[in-house]
Structures are given as C-alpha cells and as structure tokens.
Structure 1
C-alpha cells in the first residue's frame, strides 16, 4: 500500500497540549450523543463515535474533516489517508473510498465535519490570487495534511464560539472562513485550491462528477459524459480513473447505491422503493450490486447502520450525495 498521502504520521505535533485538551473538552460538550450532532451552522456537524469501525464504504461531500481525538484511516485504491489529532482530511471532489476508525467508550472519536461552501471557497481563492498567492501545485481530490498550531487555534476559537447561540450566529461564519483560509494556505492547500479552480482535465472531471450527482437517477451514458467534457471516451475514462480511482460506470453505481442506503436508513424506504428512486429498473440487480459493495443485503446493511450509528438527519440540500 502506498503511503505517500500519509503526512508525518509519527511526527510530534507542534500544537500546544493545553489547546488540545480544551479542544477535546469543548467538543465533548458539543457532541454529547453518539453519531452526528447538529451545529448552529447548517454546513457543520460534530461527530462522536464510542466504538471502532471496521472498513466500510463511504462517500464524502467535498469538505474538511478535523479529528480532535481518535483516528480515522481512509483507503483509496492503494493509498492510505490518515486523519487523526495530528492530521486533517480535505476533500475537493466526492470520492468513494473505504474507512475505518479507532474509538472506545473511554476515548471516543471526536471530529468536526465542515461541508464545503463553494461560495466562501471561491471568494477566498479569488482574494488569494489577488494578493499574489498563485497555485502551482497539481490538483488532488483528497489530501491528508499535518495539523499546525495556527489551524488548531482557529478550530478552538470556533468551538468556543459555538457554545453560545448569539456568538455562533454572529461570529461563526467568519471563523469557518478562517478555517478555510488556514487549510488553503496549509502544506497541501495548493493542491486543494488547484482542484477547486477546476482548470484542465481535473476540472472537466470535477464537472462530470457534479453532473453525475445532480442526475444519478437519470440514464447517464459514458459517451454523453465524455462529450460534455469535450473528451474522447478513452481519454475520459483515463482521466476519470486518475481522479476517482474507479471507472465512470462504477462511480455512477456507487453513487446510486450510497443514496439508496441513505433512503432506506433515514426515510424507511424498502429496497424496492429505494432502488427505483435512484434509477434501478431491476430490484434483483440492485440487490446484487448492493451486496457486492456493502458486503450484505439491503436489510442487513440498514440494520447494521441503525445498530452501530446514530444517523444524522438529511440536513440542508447539497450538490452531492454523501454517505456519512
């Protein structure tokens, strides 16, 4: 397994111990329940997990995951992405990968998830360019990056502010913007900014992913997606795989299956109803492909999710389907 995405995994942190302790204390207050806890800001969730999670397929919205206690490991093909108290994860395009976590009742996993606000990101990118901070790094869809002291202090101020409804409303958006800024100027911020700029082949694939998530229940052909990206089908396949580590057809199937799982777990839909709603014409084909991805039947997987997780509400509308 390649570990070049694993950034200084064993290095000592430069974040002061008192900052870490207070960050954990504040997050314990904000995430009293296992699962995803709502925040006063619509694009932020606080996660608490009291048990370990074995490798399971996930699909993240573009966003930032900051783990304050515990450890997560993501696997995209042969690459390992570590995000723990020393590293955060930034995702610029929705990527299907598998994830496992370390957690226990005594030391629960505590994390902050910030779903990316593209308007805020675009404004920051424009201002950075105006100040002469151009992007020279190659774009990447996912990056694990060392958590430095400035970002850790920004996160702590954000958590302190979230304890008071008025402060959260008045100051919270500016502190989220500050966290974005710290990520964009961080060690791998250039690659994230290059990805969000959506230039070149990466940008064409990113727009194809938007197209898939906006119309996953419709009939989507690789030929149409390639034509919309102004690429030949072989070229589109090659660049699509280089970004997502999978083929366009498999990506479309994965998106539909993740969405169907959410519909069954959150909304109580039957497998037949969920499969039809995400674009499957054959319930038996849906069941076979569902079991191939998640390792169990729809009934078994939904029961496992309800048994092991406190599922979040659907939340505000998003451009992308997310499985977490």
Structure 2
C-alpha cells in the first residue's frame, strides 16, 4: 500500500493566512522524511476556509525544499486557464524537480460562480475541457499539434528528458470516463462525496479504459483521515473539521476553529448529519485509522491512498501523518547522495 498526501492550506481562526501557506511547505518536508509517495496541493478561490489558491506556485516552493517525494496539483481547474500556459508552468516545475511532477487537472470551478467568471468570463469554458486535456498532454510531452490547429509548431518550454505526469481528477462518473478514454491515471475525491459514487466511478474507469498515456488503469482515492495518540484525542481534534462540515451544510464557510471553540448546539437535522459524518469518519489511533484505510482500499481495489487531514494545530496534523506512516511501515526517504561521496 502506498500513501500520499493532499494538503489545502486550510485557514485557521487566530492565525494569519500566510502562515497556512508556510505550514504546507513544512508539512511537505515532513511527509517526505516519513516516506510518503506524493504531496499534492489543491486549488480553491475566494473560499474563507482554504487559502491554497495557486498550487503551481506552492509546488515550486515544495520542489525547492524536497528531493524525492512527487509533487502535484490536485488540481489545476483547467477551464479557467489556457492549456498552453499551464503546460509552460509545469514544464518549468519539471525542470526544478525532474521526474517528480504530477499535473492533476479537474473541471470543477473550485469556487463560486462569480469568482469563476472572474477567472474566465466565458460561461461555457467547461465545455471545452476534453479538448483542453488533449492539448495539455501534447504540450507537456512535446507532441506536435495536428494540421490546422492554431498551436501547430508552438512549443511549451523548457524541454527536458522528463515530463509531468498528467492525472485526471474527479468526484463523479464524468472524470472517470474521460480518464478511461484518454488512458490517463485517475484520482477520485472520496473526501468530497464521503465516498458516494466512488466504487461506481472506479468501476466505470476500469471497464472503459483504453491504453493511452499509460498502458493499464492506475487509480487512487483521496480520503480524509485523522490519527492521534489516543482515540479520545483524535475525536477531540476532529471536532474542528466536524463543525466546518456541519456549518457548510447551511452555507456557512469560515476558517477552522480550535477544538475548544468548535462545539455548539445543533438542530435535529444538523445532529443527524453530524452522527452520519462520525460513522463514516476515518478517525482514531494510528492503528485504528490504518485498519479502516486498509479495508477501504481492499473494498475499492486500489493500492494507493491520498490522505487529507485538517487540524487547527499544525503539530497535530504532522503527528497524524507520523502515526499513519508508522502503522503502514512506510520507509523514510533516504538522503540524496552528495557529489563525490
């Protein structure tokens, strides 16, 4: 079983937002030392809870501070942008971290409608997503555009011996079908849907898959999990995330509250949602959470899980990843050999 990380640079009450960005870079260094496979970064805009707005910029900072772990976007919301410009950005990233760059793309806006229109005023931009994916793959790998294409003869630089690995992200059957059609690796956002539709999307992807960028299906799932030294402490820490999820049901978004401020009275409907959330939650000691994750991976027939963890305290977040690394017996990264040694 391979474990990877997705971080969103979560905003926290009582802490400047810029600290969340720096904590993300520190977490990447920490997870590399622990032996995690990938470190992915999300893209959201004008959302009070998440300040990770520019994964391509943050990836460069992570690349400068790491040497082994794969670094990726989860993802670039492609309808907002020119595929050629994205290809240039990720070619530069690949030059900074050769052979370590994952380019995850998605169709969702990662924002509200007004913000999405500021990023790209074309209300029909998402309709061109399949064509954008095809163009992006060609530009990041140096393939020539077909006759008649306005980009024929145009190159995304710098060129090198390696190229970013394109991934399709999704939380529905649409992304699964597109990934299968183009022969791309596929990642399902389990943490967004609480698992709803995940098994069906993975089955669709495997059934429809045609060799393309890769020769056979390759899928992982992004799942929310939190481990602590005791089960009681894990559930205490979870109350911050729990409050955020309950509030979101009624359109209330804000920075993450510390556990001692997260408790409030819930309506009957909110309490029912809260209990359902707890029944599904991957929360507990390292071994307890690892057992739940292994069971989920076996059920969905995946050999890689991308873990996302929200805590108000960055040290608690880092400790959670430590405990899971121990429970899964991850091998810590080896220091790169020095020249002349």
TM-score by length of 2: 0.31
- TM-score for the superposition, normalised by structure 1: 0.32
